[in-house]
Structure 1
Amino acid sequence: MSASIPSRPNIWAIVPAAGVSRRMGRPKQLMPWGDTDMASHVCRTLLEAGVSGLILVTRRALVDAMDLPRDPRVRVAFNEECDSQMLDSIRIGLETIAAESRGLGEDANDGTRPRAAAPSETSCGAACPPTGTSEAVCPPTGSREAARRPRRIAHGDVDGVMVLPADVPGVCPQTCRDCTAAFAADPRRIVVATCEGRRGHPIIFPWELRAEVSTLKGGLRDLLAQHPDRLLLVDTADPGVTQNVNAPQDYPARTAPRPNRRLL
């Protein structure tokens, strides 16, 4: 990685959202949060924070029910392995970012969707596109939405990757901006948001660590343990950074309506 990073680094976000929500008993990615569903809310938070691109990693059975922002920075990649871990979705996200950053992804505003690959049988027992395939979420060519959006997502050198899971929907856009600013000031660091001394999300790691992340056996916690000298904690007053929605008891108190700030 270059020693010099722009004041506004090229940060791509990965939103892992492929879990089967066993403890919740229903797909928590689709549960209402504010004026949308949980996964879509997290995507909007990241877009409002100014990420260069965003990869939502989910399952085909869920994506059509999501209220995803029609923004050219958004890509959807698929993880159809029901028993996979969050790290598996992060790996798929990294592979998708690598392709997009080389300019190999679908033109976000050409009015088409990528051709679907032939369905394959998965551990879910359903016919689904192969794990790792991706497609764009974008407005049609010539629409007012398309006219006011960038023609393409920012291809080129990626500086860092921000991870914010779909089941951590309480994080504020400003928290993501604060973490990005901390990373821009010292781009070799692994940035972790904290609240009241507890670590949570988002997490930003340098793009140069992507190969190491892909070989981890556990999760991103292992990456932090392997690089304690590179860890940079960003203290926030945002309780959302440590609030995971995993079970029914986690959900009711965190669904208060919020201002409608949709990115169409």
Structure 2
Amino acid sequence: MASESASKVCAVVLAAGESRRLGRPKQLLKLDGTELVAHVVERALASSIDGVVVVTGSHRDAVESAIEDLIVTVVFNPDFAEGQGTSLVAGIRALPDDVGAVIVLLGDMPGISTDVISRLADLWREKRPVAAIARYRSGRGHPVLFDRELLSELQHMTGDEGARKLLKRLGDRVVEEHADADSLPQDVDTEEDWERLQRNWQR
């Protein structure tokens, strides 16, 4: 459980991927003239959280350029090719000492609303769950929040499935926060995903 002095809720935005399946950097695709990663960061900054860490890796310079006017902490993950788990570790290590919880966001998922980010943060401030996740009408989805008591464990996980396995193991200790949306927010792995996101995009 987080101590009273560890009261900040921060976001870690994972934007280091190589986008091998898509064949081009998905975090740099543009909607309304703005890169996906910038949309994600802007929504996080507009929420009730206390800070944002962005993890870069592949296409580092371009990603950093896309968010250069935003007030965030940027950390480079030299091990980005080894999987998303290494970026989560890099982001956690860059968090301030007084962080109480972290919300994990994906740099290619601009559909996550400022409202749901704020709801997760406010839920933690009120009830201090060990973990929380957004519940959409069609099921559970991003973002996910972890209390600081889990950060050490998350830093020692490997591969892309570590956080997911942790959530499964926590079972009913994971609190759901209902999101006011029908469908899960989309990420972009294929051209079909990208076309669908463009069709469905609403600011």
Same-fold status (TM-score > 0.5):
yes
SS of 1:159's partner is strand
The 8 Å contact of residues 194 and 242 in structure 1, kept in 2 or not, is answered as no
1:23 equivalenced with 2:21 (yes/no): yes
Percent identical among aligned pairs is: 27
Quote the RMSD (CA, aligned, Å): 2.3
Verify: 1:170 aligned to 2:168, yes or no: no
- State the SS of the aligned residue for 2:196: helix
Q: How far is the alpha carbon of 1:181 from its aligned partner?
A: 1.8
Q: Does the 8 Å contact 1:13/1:46 carry over to 2?
A: yes
* Distance in 2 separating the partners of 1:11 and 1:240: 25
Unaligned segments of structure 1, at least 5 residues: 103-156, 260-264
Partner residue of 2:177? 234
Provide the secondary structure at the position in 2 that maps to 1:237.
Answer: coil
Retained in 2: the 8 A contact 1:60–1:78?
no
Q: In the TM superposition, what are the counterparts of 1:138-149 in structure 2 within 5 Å?
A: none
Q: Measure the CA separation in 1 of the matches of 2:184 and 2:155.
A: 24
Q: Deviations over 1:9-60 (max 9, x none)?
A: 5111111111111111100011002341011110101001132111111126
CA drift of 1:239 comes to 5.0
In terms of fraction of residues, the more helix-rich structure is 2
Question: One-letter code of the match for 2:164?
Answer: R
Counterpart contact for 1:179–1:191, Cα < 8 Å: yes
Counterpart residue number, 2:147: 206
Structure 2 residue aligned with 1:120: none
Asked whether the 8 Å contact 2:53–2:94 carries over to 1, the reply is: yes
The gaps in structure 2 that reach 5 residues or longer are none
1:1-16 equivalences in 2 (<5 Å): 1-2=1-2, 9-16=7-14
Aligned pairs for 1:97-176 (under 5 A) are: 97=95, 101-102=96-97, 157-176=98-117
Question: How far apart, CA to CA, are the structure 1 residues paired with 2:182 and 2:37?
Answer: 18
Shift of 1:229: 3.4
TM-score (norm. length: structure 2): 0.87
- Counterpart of 2:66? 67
Determine if contact 2:18/2:58 at 8 Å carries over to the other structure. Answer: no
Contact 1:12 1:51 in 2 (8 A): yes
Partner of 1:222: 165
- Per-residue CA deviation, residues 89-114 of structure 1 (Å, 9 max, x unaligned), is 000001111xxx24xxxxxxxxxxxx
After TM superposition, give the deviation of residue 196 of structure 1 in Å.
1.9
Query: Amino acid of the residue matched to residue 29 of structure 2?
Result: M
TM-score, normalised via structure 1 length: 0.68
Q: Moved runs in structure 1, 4+ residues, more than 4 A?
A: 2-6, 256-259
Change (3 A) 1:33 1:88: same
